[in-house]
């Protein structure tokens, strides 16, 4: 099967970006610190994050409202991934306006809002399935009577 032009272009672009990353790593004053951080990120991903995501995926497979729950989990995961580095950074931020608000509290509030929105969507979907429809004969009369 021939390789498409787009696939080759993406492969070349990937190799160029790997080269740029290697160039920047070589220019880094402490490349071992960067390599240690990347190794730690790899171990954290393979030992904790990937198994956790797989376990949650298995649990979500049994939930009747899978699409809503998946959407809420993806949204919550993205929020945590964006916010967590700011929360875990040691010391005061170099720019005082970088963390002017209580981000931990706000993250919890936003995650709660995502959970409430997902619950409302699930309840609305359930209510629409259960609610009798007009003219469907659910009241015992023939359709169109009344």
Per-residue pLDDT tens over the stretch 96-117:
776 677 888 999 999 999 999 9
Are the C-beta atoms of 86 and 103 separated by less than 8 Å?
yes
Q: What is the pLDDT of residue 142?
A: 55
Find, among 72, 77, 71, 79, the residue nearest to 52 by Cα.
77
Give me the chain's average pLDDT, please.
85
Q: What is the pLDDT of residue 55?
A: 92
Q: What is the pLDDT of residue 139?
A: 54
Residue 118, pLDDT > 90, answer yes
Residue 20, pLDDT > 70, answer yes
**Residue 62 vs residue 94, higher pLDDT:** 62
Percentage of the chain lying above the pLDDT 90 cut: 41
pTM assigned to the model: 0.61
Within a 13 Å sphere around the CA of 54, how many CA atoms are in the beta-carbon half?
A: 7
Are the C-beta atoms of 81 and 126 separated by less than 8 Å?
no
């Amino acid at each position: 099967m021939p390789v498409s032009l787009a696939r080759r272009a993406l492969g070349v672009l990937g190799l160029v970006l790997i080269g740029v990353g290697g160039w920047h790593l070589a220019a880094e004053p402490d490349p071992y610190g960067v390599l240690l951080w990347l190794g730690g990120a790899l171990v954290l991903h393979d030992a904790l994050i990937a198994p956790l995501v797989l376990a949650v995926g298995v649990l979500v497979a049994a939930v009747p409202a899978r699409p809503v729950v998946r959407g809420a989990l993806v949204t919550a995961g993205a929020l945590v991934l964006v916010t967590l580095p700011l929360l875990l950074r040691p010391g005061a931020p170099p720019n005082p306006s970088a963390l002017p608000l209580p981000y931990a509290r706000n993250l919890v509030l936003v995650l709660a809002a995502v959970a409430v929105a997902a619950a409302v969507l699930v309840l609305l979907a359930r209510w629409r399935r259960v609610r009798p429809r007009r003219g469907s004969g659910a009241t015992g009369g023939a359709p169109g009577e009344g």
